[in-house]
Amino acid sequence: MKQQIKDQINRPLRDLRISVIDRCNFRCTYCMPADIFGPDFAFLPKSELLSYEEIERVARIFIGLGVEKIRLTGGEPLMRKDLPILVEKLSAIDGLSDIALTTNGVMLPKLAEPLKMAGLNRVNISLDTLNDDLFGEINGRGVKTRPVLTGIKAAQEAGLGVKINMVVKKGLNENEILPMAEFCKNEGLELRFIEYMDVGSTNGWKMDDVITKKEIYELLKENYELEHTGAAYFGEVAKRYRYKGTNVHVGFISSVSESFCSSCTRSRLSANGQIFTCLFNGNGHDIRDFMRAGASDEEIRKRVVGIWNDRTDRYSDERTAETIANRKKIEMSYIGG
């Protein structure tokens, strides 16, 4: 029986994000800008990454404490060798109801079917524009949209659930909001509009670059009839709507303009084995070295409980010019989304 833990403001621990690798085949403007993460950037050596057996062990402990959903992230998680083996290990753990993966989709034609057979339920695929030139600029490699669109099709054909993530940045891709909405609506894909966030310290984030959920919603309302569908579960971060007369949804993730700290149910495990209780907190809690030093499952469990119960993260609630400038934050490549 699970021992579900909650912190001092009654937020249950239900979701675990696991970053399996700290590198990506793109150098995106948002999270791994090419001027920082160039060919000479020192990524983590394999010995510093958690092994699949270590990830499985930590995941089993988290699931015993109430976690029901796991999402694999990166970097680009599909760059981790033999990833279906990890998915199979995780999907076999009693109590896990959902396992998902966030990806840029380029490697899905080869891996979608093996991942589905291993137990993966769904994928979130990043696609910020349908314009080839702009997409090449954003991904930093000049890659066109076709490989991602092919990956989306491969995921659908494999029977995976598919959601599309679109980060919107003022002055970059706000003109792509309606084309993306129309494309996803026609293809029966749920599109998630994500406010441009100040994750890490390398993307040059400024509040002036944010297109808010309200602005995007008002633009969509001018072109579509939207019906609010409400949260599917406690802690759901996306505010979801349905295009009237269809079963196609669109969602908004508004951690900048409409924070949801009070209902956050997520913990994150970085590629090098650090537990983070907030996407915007650079102060992790070591679990890798603790585990490798011989800690028992019970000792690890107690450490996780203590970390969760002691959390005081309220970054999105408390975001100010001072906190933006002075707070240490972990890079997206280490912790995922």
Burial 64-86 (b: 16+ CB within 10 A, else e): bbbbbbbbbbbbbbbbbeebbeb
- Residue 276 is given by DSSP the state E
- Cα–Cα distance measured from residue 258 to residue 210, given in angstroms and rounded to the nearest whole number: 12
266 is in an annotated binding site: yes
180 is in an annotated binding site: no
240 is in an annotated binding site: no
- Residue 313's nearest CA partner among 264, 274, 269, 251 is 264
Other CB atoms within a 10 A radius of the CB of residue 249 amount to: 21
Structure tokens at 10: 């009654």
Contact assessment for residue 58 and residue 50, using Cβ atoms and an 8 Å cutoff: yes
Residues forming beta bridges with residue 50, ordered by sequence position:
none
Rounded to whole angstroms, what are the CA distances from 240 to 179, 193, 266, 296, 327? Answer: 19, 10, 19, 41, 31
184 is in an annotated binding site: no
Contact assessment for residue 265 and residue 234, using Cβ atoms and an 8 Å cutoff: yes
- Cα–Cα distance measured from residue 326 to residue 309, given in angstroms and rounded to the nearest whole number: 25
2 is in an annotated binding site: no
Q: How many residues comprise the chain?
A: 337
19 is in an annotated binding site: no
Contact assessment for residue 319 and residue 195, using Cβ atoms and an 8 Å cutoff: no
267 is in an annotated binding site: yes
102 is in an annotated binding site: yes
- Residue 119 is given by DSSP the state T
233 is in an annotated binding site: no
- The residue type found at 190 is E
261 is in an annotated binding site: yes
80 is in an annotated binding site: no
38 is in an annotated binding site: no
Q: What are phi and psi of 317, to 5 degrees?
A: -70, -35
Cα of first residue to Cα of last residue in the chain, in angstroms, is: 29
Cis peptide before 161 (omega within 30 of 0): no
Which helix (H) or strand (E) element contains residue 164?
Answer: strand 161-168
Instruction: Report the binding-site residues for [4Fe-4S] cluster.
Output: 24, 28, 31, 261, 264, 278
Per the annotation, where are the binding residues for GTP?
17, 71, 102, 163, 266-268
Binding residues for S-adenosyl-L-methionine are: 30, 75, 126, 197
Report the binding-site residues: 17, 24, 28, 30-31, 71, 75, 102, 126, 163, 197, 261, 264, 266-268, 278
